Amino acid sequence: NAGVMQNPRHLVRRRGQEARLRCSPMKGHSHVYWYRQLPEEGLKFMVYLQKENIIDESGMPKERFSAEFPKEGPSILRIQQVVRGDSAAYFCASSTRGQDNYGYTFGSGTRLTVV
Amino acid sequence: RKEVEQDPGPFNVPEGATVAFNCTYSNSASQSFFWYRQDCRKEPKLLMSVYSSGNEDGRFTAQLNRASQYISLLIRDSKLSDSATYLCVIEAPNTGFQKLVFGTGTRLLVSP
């Protein structure tokens, strides 16, 4: 019973390239959340998705960032034209429903380094 | 003012010591509270939820003071393996889903 799976674990991109981060939720989970942790900072909410729907993207930067959770396949966080400031750990979590009171389980994250 | 504030530490304690971390939050409408643990370069892991009545899980005790908007975590009989960063987390109110707001964490170092 695999947990939340994220890949790649580490990703290096040059400035201006695109980064694609993937998140496969736990089996049976249809709600996905993305968080970002900049160096020496706390995790910050980015986006909440259900299958084929973006529910809340209030934490997403206005430009270059997008997320999707298609009917089939993993959730994708896409960063276009990366800049050094995008270097961070990106964590994904999933749940069976959006309103839970138990906290949720994170994947092991993708560490993006922009050079 | 930050939504969740924690002393970054580090707290350096010997094995067997008792250590307490505190956290304050700014939004009085928050309803759910958690402590997470994060090891270096790893994902945060849920340590325990925090209830108004206080709750205990083995060597760990969490308390919530709604009037003062204050959350605490007490670790008794510290082990070397307790060395980590402890994240105070609240659920942002009135969002319709569990949107978590994280503190920057308190670092604990337990030495032999």
Distance from CA of B17 to the nearest CA of A (A): 27
Q: How confident is the model at residue B97, as a pLDDT? A: 84
Q: What is the mean pLDDT of residues A16-24?
A: 98
Q: Considering just the CA atoms, what is the radius of gyration of chain B in Å?
A: 14
Tokens 């971390």: give the residue: B21
Residue A20 DSSP code: E
More confident call, B81 vs A95: B81
Q: Is the pLDDT of residue A98 over 90?
A: no
pLDDT in tens, B38-58: 999 899 999 999 988 889 999
C-beta separation of B1 from B49 below 8 A: no
B1: Cβ–Cβ under 8 A, 6 or more apart, which residues? B26
Query: Are the beta carbons of B46 and A45 separated by less than 8 Å?
Result: no
Q: Is the pLDDT of residue A86 over 60?
A: yes
Residue B92 DSSP code: P
Q: How confident is the model at residue B94, as a pLDDT? A: 84
Q: Which of A99, A69, A80 is nearest to A4 (CA)?
A: A69
| Pairing, β B106-111 against β B11-14 | parallel
Interface probe with A: pick from B2, B23, B71, B100, most Cβ of A within 10 Å: B100
The token pair at A49 is 């998705």
Distance from CA of B55 to the nearest CA of A (A): 14
Residue A115's pLDDT band, with cuts at 50, 70 and 90, is very high
Q: Which amino acid is at A8?
A: P
**Is the CB of B33 inside 8 Å of chain A's CB atoms?**
no
Interface probe with B: pick from A29, A43, A92, A94, most Cβ of B within 10 Å: A43
| A63/A110 Cα distance (integer angstroms) | 20
Q: Which amino acid is at A99?
A: Q
Distance from CA of B24 to the nearest CA of A (A): 15
Residue B21's pLDDT band, with cuts at 50, 70 and 90, is very high
pLDDT in tens, B71-107: 999 999 999 999 999 999 999 988 888 899 999 999 9
From B49, B92, B102, residue closest to A42, measured CB to CB? B102
B84: Cβ–Cβ under 8 A, 6 or more apart, which residues? B37, B38, B39, B40, B107, B108
Q: Which residues of B touch A105 (CB under 8 A)?
A: 45-46
